[in-house]
Amino acid sequence: MLSFDTVVERALTGPICTERDFDLGIFVPNLRKIIEKYGIKYDPGNPVPADDDLADRVWEAGLEFLVETGVYCLDTERRILFTRQEIEGALGSAPCNVVYGEGKDARLMPRRFPEDETPPWCSGCGAGPVLTEWNLINVVKTYAEDPLSDGITAPCLTKLDGRDLVAGSPRGVEGAIRTVLLVREALRRAGRPGMPVVNEVASAVRATEHIAGHAFGNPKTDALEIGTVHELKVDFDALNKVAYCQAVGNLTFAENGVILGGYAGGPAGVAVVCAAYHPVDLLVIRGVVQHPLAVPIEGGTTSMREIIWARSMAIQAATRNSSLPIVAPGYTSAGPMTEMCYYEFAAWVMATVVSGGSVEVGPPSRGVMEDYSDPMENIFSNAVAHASAGMSRKEANKIVSRLLENYENKLKDPPPGKKLPEYFDIASGTPNKECIEFYRKMRQEFAEQFGLKLPLTSPYL
């Protein structure tokens, strides 16, 4: 595989163009041409597609699109270009079967295929903003107590000692450090001190904050999440994080997002761009996991029919052709303690797992509302993920289609649900009776109406 320094050199010396020319003169026309050439068409009647030939065409389209388009460096206004041979070399040396965590809490990240019986990796509990340090500890602790939880996705602190965190400031550095320490304390309280954190410095924005926070975690067994910029772009701050991880040997989750309705266009374009990001995550971000996100331009939910189809298609394309594992993150429109929230999580989680991916369950309410990080929906989603392992895509398509019927017409005006203090006893660090009873009700409904055999492992059954 190309050295990281070679990638940096191309960011400094590659073909120069403005960002607008890259977007409108290169990215968009190249994508339209590739979609037409490979006959990529969206099928709304099958949100979980089961077409291996189409998956392989999406894969080939993604690789060809990347060769012709490249990755745009925002700081130098230059394109980082790769040949097909260089891309295939990176795919041929992709990491596989990496172990995260330590001691009894260590977990192997599996490579999975469409309809694979191998249990998926499950991480979750946050990624959304929390208002206080106690709320962060309670959310992480509750999720970590679930035996099906393999890793932690830490919530983000929004305030430090009652004051706003400011990215790039000394308060941003302190916030990053304190988030790491609080997550570690929560894991100790849950009896899982060696559990891996897959976005180790959740409250960090800048590279300096990531580096500072990293020193207070488990440097070799946690991961830093490093993201690209929409679409097919990267900046020096991300590359600086990669340079640091390369020097210290840290694991990286390579995060990328594609916007439905943006330059990628519709679901077909989103699927192709998601596939193109797969080798980018190896070559540029140096990831040991691809972390693909796709969201509509008007909101942050991953439970729309178009998003479910596009990401399922892209995950199948990648898992059939690459050994780099995929952990797909996702959010809902509805808030915690609502039936719609459970339906949304179940739909995208099931689609991801039967497509060959693993899951990172984010917070409800699009991941942007303070104190809407509910560990109970996350625990439920873990059970759905394990129940989906080995299920056929056609069977999953039937269930996901029924789930969509239950919430699709409410996505633009979803129920807000409740904030954490309304259904959680902050003092004891446990969900209240109403929350537990609602969780049990939803488990029973999914067993009776959808035939899902959910594992009996949760501490709240």
Radius of gyration of the chain (CA): 21
Q: DSSP for 194-249?
A: T--BTTSSTT--SHHHHHHHHTTS-TTTSEEEEE-BTTTEE-HHHHHHHHHHHHHT
Residue (of 253, 153, 162, 241) closest to 205 by Cα position: 241
In a domain, 70, yes or no: no
pLDDT tens by residue, the chain, 461 residues: 999 999 999 999 999 999 999 999 999 999 999 999 999 999 999 999 999 999 999 999 999 999 999 999 999 999 999 999 999 999 999 998 899 999 999 999 999 999 999 999 999 876 678 888 888 898 899 999 999 999 998 888 888 888 887 778 888 889 889 989 999 999 999 999 999 998 878 777 889 888 888 888 776 788 889 999 999 999 999 999 999 999 998 899 999 999 999 999 999 999 999 999 999 999 999 999 999 999 999 877 899 999 999 999 999 999 999 999 999 999 899 999 999 999 999 999 999 999 999 999 887 766 567 777 778 889 999 999 999 999 999 999 999 999 999 999 999 999 999 988 888 888 888 899 999 999 999 999 999 999 999 999 988 88
In a domain, 263, yes or no: yes
- Domain housing 390: 99-121+220-450
Domain CATH number, residue 348: 3.20.20.460
For residue 268, the tally of other CB atoms under 10 A from its CB is: 26
In a domain, 94, yes or no: no
Rounded to whole angstroms, the Cα distance separating 136 from 140 reads: 6
In a domain, 224, yes or no: yes
Query: Which amino acid makes up residue 312?
Result: S
Rounded to whole angstroms, the Cα distance separating 87 from 182 reads: 40
Q: Phi and psi at residue 145, in whole multiples of 5°?
A: -75, -10
Rounded to whole angstroms, the Cα distance separating 232 from 257 reads: 9
In a domain, 267, yes or no: yes
- Alpha carbon of 338 to those of 233, 361, 372: distances in Å? 37, 16, 12
H helix intervals, 21-109: 28-38, 52-69, 84-92
In a domain, 21, yes or no: no
Pairing state between β 430-431 and 78-80? unpaired
Provide the pLDDT for residue 239: 97
For residue 194, the tally of other CB atoms under 10 A from its CB is: 16
Q: Whose structure tokens read 């954490």? A: 420
In a domain, 57, yes or no: no
Query: Which amino acid makes up residue 401?
Result: S
Structure tokens at 434: 């109403």
Question: What is the SS3 string spanning 259-277?
Answer: EECCCCCCHHHHHHHHHHH
Structure tokens at 290: 């691809």
Residue (of 182, 176, 172, 181) closest to 136 by Cα position: 182
Structure tokens at 12: 């400094």
Structural domains in the chain (count): 1
Pairing state between β 289-296 and 251-260? parallel
Rounded to whole angstroms, the Cα distance separating 371 from 214 reads: 24
In a domain, 12, yes or no: no
Three-state DSSP at 58 gives helix
Rounded to whole angstroms, the Cα distance separating 244 from 13 reads: 22
Rounded to whole angstroms, the Cα distance separating 363 from 419 reads: 11
Provide the pLDDT for residue 130: 84
Strands (E), 352-419: 358-361
Three-state DSSP at 148 gives coil
- Alpha carbon of 53 to those of 1, 113, 395: distances in Å? 28, 15, 19
Instruction: Give per-residue burial for 415-446: e unless 16+ CB within 10 Å, then b.
Output: bbbbbbeebbeeeebbbeeebbebbeebbeeb
